[in-house]
């Protein structure tokens, strides 16, 4: 990857920049910045989760799934990652596999009446 303005600065600068691009719906640019942050600190959940969201919104579902699974390896009770993984799997036509993640997300948040627990 060629270094550009987006990759320069401290980790905090790049985190702020990635969030700005995400909020502006510039998901591929946000993902480019976040990819570097994740490489630098793979144990941190927040950059991975925003990276997964960037991939999801830019229809890079395989990559979103990879990042969400990595988040869940770090923090198995991260309810939003569970929900996103379920939705990502649904978008890939993998409803049966998605259902278990959606049920876990509903249980973690106490939202058992939302329909996510029904198949």
The answer to whether 118 and 100 have CB atoms below 8 angstroms apart is no
The answer to whether 67 and 48 have CB atoms below 8 angstroms apart is yes
The model's pTM: 0.87
- Grouped pLDDT means (10 residues each) for the chain, 119 residues: 71 96 97 96 97 98 98 96 98 97 94 53
Question: 90: buried, middle or exposed (CB in 10 Å: 19+, 13-18, 0-12)?
Answer: middle
């Amino acid at each position: 990857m060629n270094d550009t303005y987006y990759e320069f600065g401290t980790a905090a600068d790049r985190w702020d920049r990635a969030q700005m691009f995400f909020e502006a719906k510039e998901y591929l640019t946000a993902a480019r910045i976040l990819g570097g942050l994740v490489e630098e600190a793979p144990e941190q959940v927040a950059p991975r989760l925003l990276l997964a969201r960037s991939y999801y919104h830019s229809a890079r579902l395989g990559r979103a799934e990879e990042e969400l699974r990595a988040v869940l390896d770090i923090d198995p009770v991260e309810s939003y990652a569970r929900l996103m993984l379920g939705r990502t799997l649904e978008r890939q036509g993998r409803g049966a596999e998605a259902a278990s993640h959606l049920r876990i997300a509903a249980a973690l948040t106490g939202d058992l009446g939302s329909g996510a627990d029904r198949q």
